[in-house]
Homo-oligomer: A and B are copies of this chain.
Amino acid sequence: MDFLSLFLMDFVKQLQSPTLGFLIGGMIIAALGSELVIPESICTIIVFMLLTKIGLTGGIAIRNSNLMDMVLPALFAVVVGVVVVFIARYTLAKLPKVRTVDAIATGGLFGAVSGSTMAAALTLLEEEKISYEAWAGALYPFMDIPALVTAIVIANIYLNQKKRRAENEYLSKQPVAAGDYPDQQQYPRSRQEYLSQQQDPEDNRVKIWPIIEESLRGPALSAMLLGLALGLFTQPESVYKSFYDPAFRGLLSILMLVMGMEAWSRIGELRKVAQWYVVYSVVAPFVHGLIAFGLGLIAHYTTGFSMGGVVVLAVIASSSSDISGPPTLRAGIPSANPSAYIGASTAVGTPVAIGLCIPFFIGLAQAIGG
């Protein structure tokens, strides 16, 4: 009971945080039909500055710290990124009216990481004065990239298997004597062959390196890795302290507002796809976060990973990608329906991750650690 009351008090207190306030405020003014618009170019530069700042923080931290400490959390981040996709493959994909490729793509997006959600978590941890490793933000790509790669790979394996099954069925249904319109009958087969040449189905191999490359080239990871490199190899402390650090919280507040408004406006898109997506989008962030939290606790007890770091790991597992993920998935799994995975992530997954999971995991960490 003490645990529960501590947890609940903390949960309620965090809903008063300005970071969550702006998110909820954005949803409310969008619901009330406000004509407020934050220009696209402003959102772009805010995301750039937030992720560059997270990268710089990580780079400066790594320069001054023991890289060995990062190994176990980074490994766990990779594990969670991969596991999340398989969860979607064997739960969401089995639900009625859910297409398997859509489910896999959704899993990929929920395994990938949202820089904004992570930024919100780091800010809330600071407000709560819970310390965390400064390099914790650098765990981002260790979860993000494996999730996207896994999703694209298993989606293609699935599509190839389906294709071959269809091919076999088609062949077994073929009459022994060629029919009247051989051209028409052979058309699907030749198209399959055409696709096969591209995707090399004989050994089910999907080229993994291009997916990784594309993830790294996306604007979100580019900015973060740039910041990381500059933090590692130059002396950015002056510009960090005079610009990126003080502006962080304020820029985040604007972005939270935009995400709240966007979440509301995307609600409609979700209605077009199966309602099971809503269920998944509410439950999955907690499940993913708890798996990561559990793994983080192992690192906490074995290598001294801080409880703040455990929360960061749990939150990036809860989060679903909003910037870098969608274009990568659209290119990697072109047959998946974007309004399924983007709608699920933006309209439900992200608000749940920021508004509920962050306070939940901070409360959990405080109840356990305090």
Measured CB to CB, the residues of A under 8 A from B are 16-22, 25, 29, 32-42, 44-45, 48-49, 127, 213, 216-219, 222-223, 226, 229-230, 233-236, 238-240, 242-244, 246-247, 249-251, 253-254, 257
Contacts and interface: CB of A to CB of B under 8 A. Distances in A.
Given A39-B44, A48-B254, 19 more contacts: A17-B235, A18-B239, A20-B234, A21-B233, A21-B236, A25-B230, A29-B226, A33-B213, A34-B226, A35-B219, A36-B222, A36-B226, A39-B41, A40-B41, A45-B254, A238-B249, A242-B250, A243-B247, A243-B250
10 contacts: A16-B233, A33-B213, A33-B217, A34-B219, A34-B226, A36-B219, A36-B223, A38-B48, A39-B44, A243-B249
A190 to B, nearest CB: 34
A3 to B, nearest CB: 25
A253 to B, nearest CB: 5
Given A235-B16, A249-B238, A253-B243, A44 B37 contact: yes
A37 B235 CA distance: 24
A240 B19 CA distance: 12
Contacts of A18: 230, 234-236, 238-240
What is the count of identical protomers in the complex? 3
A242 B249 contact: yes
Contacts of A213: 33
A21 B244 contact: no
A242 B35 CA distance: 27
> Interface residues of A: mostly helix, strand, loop or mixed?
helix
A300 B38 CA distance: 39
A148 to B, nearest CB: 15
Contacts of A33: 213, 217
Contacts of A223: 36
Given A18-B235, A238-B127, A34 B246 contact: no
A27 to B, nearest CB: 11
